[in-house]
């Protein structure tokens, strides 16, 4: 299978700390991949290297066959790499409607148009509305983002990343901080994303990981520790070793596929 | 609710946001009416209109692009000299000395210089930007001082005599036509700025100011958008400077002095950042306060100005317009 996103010997150091240590990684089209690892394993640093928020110390990032190592985040986004953030990064003064409208107009290359009022292209507004409805934000589309409940903001964080129809979507702990009852909804939304979109989920919650992922990479100390199918990784004794003591995770390793 | 109906609802929400509201229309009618009601104050009103345009130009840079500039006066001064020199060079030659051409020339010169310097300004973070804008302004002030053969140096640029506006209206002694001219330029450029901030481009500026990390993550070329906004702000400031040169028939080194940059920053914050109207209201309030306070307490007027600024910034978010919005909210809350 062709890789839509790959890294070659990726390294990132912060002073004496090596946060990403020689990671070579490849993501096929339509992947359902989870990136796991104990706290401080360098998961978010790795995502920041992929999305261009951070520049690597050495190594390469290849997106859709092109070497994008030197590209800033905005160019990677336009080339089809989208992401959500662990901590919501939204426009507090916007409405969800404006937020998604903006994401779409940028994706369509209309973002620099200064001669027309925003919201005059019916097809764009229509697309924005249907995305908002699909993510259960239709009823609040005219409310101020900053005053939305946290769960809704979390959904908008996903909506804004999904709107441009990316080739690769990096989901950095999409359910972080979301109350138990609403996690299900986020999982359903992720499950309903287009099959050809390659998804990478960074997550602590092992139940979520095993319900979602077909393949898993385990990151430990900044390096790739184990890589394989979900069931292989679940059975791997070394992985269990790393997670020893974290009883909840242990429980899920005993029952790969998760409790459903 | 069906998606189709919701789309229509969303489209009318967008349309409604951009609608002209009655206080806006009233403000512009009042501005034109001033010249009939108080013809003897036309020269003062002219100063307010020019200051308002200058403040609008800074609001584009500060309020929409989020660039804190302490040297915006550089473009005001450059525009004044550009228009003044063109008027001198073209004296008597009808199309060259037309003031509207002078405005265009000032806008082009300042837009060009603004575009070039925007790359320097955008290289750093806030404090660096502050220093770069300040430094550029100091350089321009010193250049104007040294290049006396061109600018007249400390004596100022004399003999700036623009011909009739569009070959029709002469500048009169009482400043009536000068005010109408400045006000009309302000109005037209304001309508343009209002249109731009309500465009997809304007929305992307708000996004960059709101959260640059997210703006980049959805593919917004942040620096290119800010280059354009800084260029636009510079061109607008140039037009404001050109208006001053034309309506006073004189350009002195004072147009490039630091206090211009500081005053206009104060005015924008005073009126309300990122609203466009705040710039106009701020300019009017600033001149009115100056007029009243300087007459009442000539030595201490800046004390009162400073006090008003401190109180406004500490206790009200968003300047005078923020205060108005807060009062309206309170009244609406009581009505219920």
pLDDT tens digits, one per residue of B284-315: 999 998 888 888 887 887 888 888 888 888 88
Residues 63-102 of B with CB under 8 A from A: none
Domain ranges of chain B: 33-257
Q: In which residue are the tokens 């037009």 written?
A: B239
pLDDT tens digits, one per residue of B172-202: 767 889 999 999 999 999 999 999 999 999 9
Q: In which residue are the tokens 């063109």 written?
A: B86
| Beta strands at A223-229 and A215-220: parallel, antiparallel or unpaired | antiparallel
Distance CA B57, CA B234 (A): 7
Q: Phi and psi of A168, rounded to 5°? A: -130, 135
Whether residue A83 contacts residue A169, with contact meaning beta carbons closer than 8 Å, is answered with yes
Question: Which chain B residue lies closest to A75 (C-alpha atoms)?
Answer: B219
Extract the tokens encoding A124: 């764009």
Helices of type H across B152-221: 176-197, 200-210, 212-217
DSSP state letter for B61: I
CB-based contacts of A179, cutoff 8 Å, min separation 6: A151
Q: Is the pLDDT of residue A250 over 60?
A: no
Residues 76-135 of A with CB under 8 A from B: 77-78, 82-83, 85, 89-94, 97-98, 101-103, 105-107, 110-120, 122, 125-126, 128-130, 133
Extract the tokens encoding B192: 């343009």
Structural domains in chain A plus CATH codes: 1-80+166-260 (3.40.50.300), 92-163 (no CATH)
Give me the mean pLDDT over the A227-237 stretch. Answer: 86
Distance CA B157, CA B85 (A): 8
Residue A122: C-alpha distances to residues B3, B6, B12, B19, B220 (Å): 12, 11, 11, 18, 22
Q: Is the pLDDT of residue A205 over 90?
A: no
Distance from CA of A231 to the nearest CA of B (A): 33
Question: Which chain A residue lies closest to B193 (C-alpha atoms)?
Answer: A114
* ipTM of the complex in this document: 0.89
Extract the tokens encoding B117: 């310097």
Whole-number pLDDT of residue B154: 83
Whole-number pLDDT of residue B88: 85
User: Higher-confidence residue: A252 or B246?
Assistant: B246
Cα dihedral B27, B32, B34, B35, rounded to 10, equals: 170
Q: In which residue are the tokens 């070959």 written?
A: B167
Distance CA A208, CA A180 (A): 12
Whether residue A213 contacts residue A33, with contact meaning beta carbons closer than 8 Å, is answered with yes
Extract the tokens encoding B156: 């100022």
Phi-psi category of residue A52: left, alpha or beta, with phi > 0 → left and psi -120 to 50 → alpha: left
Band of residue B89 on the pLDDT scale cut at 50, 70, 90: confident
Extract the tokens encoding B178: 């000068």
Residues 26-85 of A with CB under 8 A from B: 51-53, 72-75, 77-78, 82-83, 85
Distance CA B84, CA A116 (A): 34
Q: Is the pLDDT of residue A247 over 80?
A: no
CB-based contacts of A22, cutoff 8 Å, min separation 6: A9, A10, A11, A59, A223
- Which range, of A218-227, B20-29, B130-139, B257-266, averages the lowest pLDDT? A218-227
Q: Phi and psi of A94, rounded to 5°? A: -85, 165
Whole-number pLDDT of residue B94: 66
Distance CA B230, CA B113 (A): 10
Cβ <8 Å between A53 and B14: no
- Which range, of A98-107, B122-131, B259-268, averages the lowest pLDDT? B122-131
Distance CA A172, CA A151 (A): 15
Give which of A169, A206, A164 is closest to A191, Cα–Cα: A169
Q: In which residue are the tokens 């029952």 written?
A: A255
Cβ <8 Å between A119 and B11: yes
Whether residue A256 contacts residue A210, with contact meaning beta carbons closer than 8 Å, is answered with yes
Whole-number pLDDT of residue A260: 36
Cα B185 to chain centroid distance, Å, stands at 12
Residues 162-221 of A with CB under 8 A from B: 163-164
Q: In a mutagenesis test of the B interface, which of A90, A114, A161 is the best target, namely the one with the most B β-carbons within 10 Å?
A: A114
Q: Choose the closest CB to A118 out of B198, B211, B221.
A: B198
Band of residue B271 on the pLDDT scale cut at 50, 70, 90: very high
Residues of A in contact with B200 (CB under 8 A): 102, 105, 110-114, 116, 118
Cβ <8 Å between A119 and B13: yes
């Amino acid at each position: 299978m062709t890789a839509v996103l790959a890294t070659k010997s990726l390294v990132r150091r912060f002073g004496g700390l090596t946060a990403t240590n020689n990671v070579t990684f490849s993501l096929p089209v339509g992947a359902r991949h989870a990136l796991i690892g104990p706290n401080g394993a360098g998961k978010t640093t790795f995502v920041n290297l992929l999305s261009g928020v951070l520049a690597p110390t050495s190594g390469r990032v290849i997106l859709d066959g092109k070497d994008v190592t030197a590209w800033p985040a905005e160019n990677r986004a336009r080339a089809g790499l989208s992401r959500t953030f662990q901590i919501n990064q939204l426009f507090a003064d916007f409405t969800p409607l404006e937020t998604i409208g903006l994401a779409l107009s940028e994706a369509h290359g209309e973002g620099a148009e200064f001669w027309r009022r925003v919201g005059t292209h019916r097809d764009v507004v229509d697309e924005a509305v249907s995305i908002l409805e699909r993510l259960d934000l239709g009823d609040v589309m005219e409310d101020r983002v900053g005053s939305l409940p946290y769960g809704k903001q979390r959904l908008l964080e996903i909506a804004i990343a999904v709107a441009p129809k990316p080739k690769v979507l990096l989901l950095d702990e999409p359910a972080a901080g979301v109350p138990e009852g609403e996690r299900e909804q986020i999982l359903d939304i992720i499950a309903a994303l287009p099959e050809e979109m390659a998804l990478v989920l960074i997550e602590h919650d092992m139940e979520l990981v095993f319900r979602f992922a077909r393949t898993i990479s385990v990151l430990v100390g900044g390096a790739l520790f184990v890589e394989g199918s979900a069931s292989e990784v679940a059975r791997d004794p070394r992985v269990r070793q790393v997670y020893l003591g974290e009883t909840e995770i242990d429980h899920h390793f005993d029952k790969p596929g998760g409790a459903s | 609710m069906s998606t189709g109906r919701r789309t229509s609802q969303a489209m009318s929400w967008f349309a409604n946001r951009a609608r002209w509201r009655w206080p806006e229309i009233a403000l512009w009618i009042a501005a034109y009416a001033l010249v009939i009601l108080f013809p003897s104050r036309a020269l003062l009103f002219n100063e307010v209109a020019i200051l308002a345009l200058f403040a609008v130009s800074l609001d584009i840079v500060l309020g929409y692009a989020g660039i804190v500039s302490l040297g915006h006066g550089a473009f005001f001064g450059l525009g004044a000299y550009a228009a003044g020199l063109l008027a001198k060079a073209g004296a008597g030659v009808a199309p060259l000395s037309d003031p509207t051409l002078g405005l265009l020339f000032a806008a082009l010169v300042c837009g060009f210089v603004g575009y070039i310097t925007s790359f320097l300004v955008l290289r750093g973070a806030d404090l660096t930007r502050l220093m770069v804008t300040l430094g550029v302004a100091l350089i321009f002030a010193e250049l104007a001082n040294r290049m006396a053969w061109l600018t007249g140096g400390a004596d100022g640029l004399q003999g700036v005599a623009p011909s009739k506006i569009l070959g029709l209206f002469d500048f009169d002694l009482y400043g009536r036509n000068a005010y109408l001219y400045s006000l009309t330029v302000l109005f037209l450029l304001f309508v343009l700025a209002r249109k731009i901030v309500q465009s997809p481009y304007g929305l992307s500026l708000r996004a960059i100011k709101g959260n640059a990390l997210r703006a980049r993550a959805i593919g917004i070329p942040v620096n290119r958008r800010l280059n354009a906004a800084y260029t636009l702000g510079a061109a607008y400031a140039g037009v404001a400077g050109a208006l001053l040169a034309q309506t006073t028939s004189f350009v002195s080194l004072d147009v490039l002095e630091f206090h211009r940059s500081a005053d206009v920053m104060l005015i924008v914050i005073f009126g309300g950042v990122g609203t466009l109207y705040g710039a106009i209201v701020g300019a009017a309030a600033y001149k009115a306060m100056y007029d009243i306070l300087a007459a009442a307490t000539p030595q201490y007027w800046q004390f009162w100005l400073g006090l008003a600024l401190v109180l406004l910034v500490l206790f009200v978010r968003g300047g005078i317009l923020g205060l108005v919005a807060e009062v309206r909210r309170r009244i609406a809350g009581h009505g219920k």
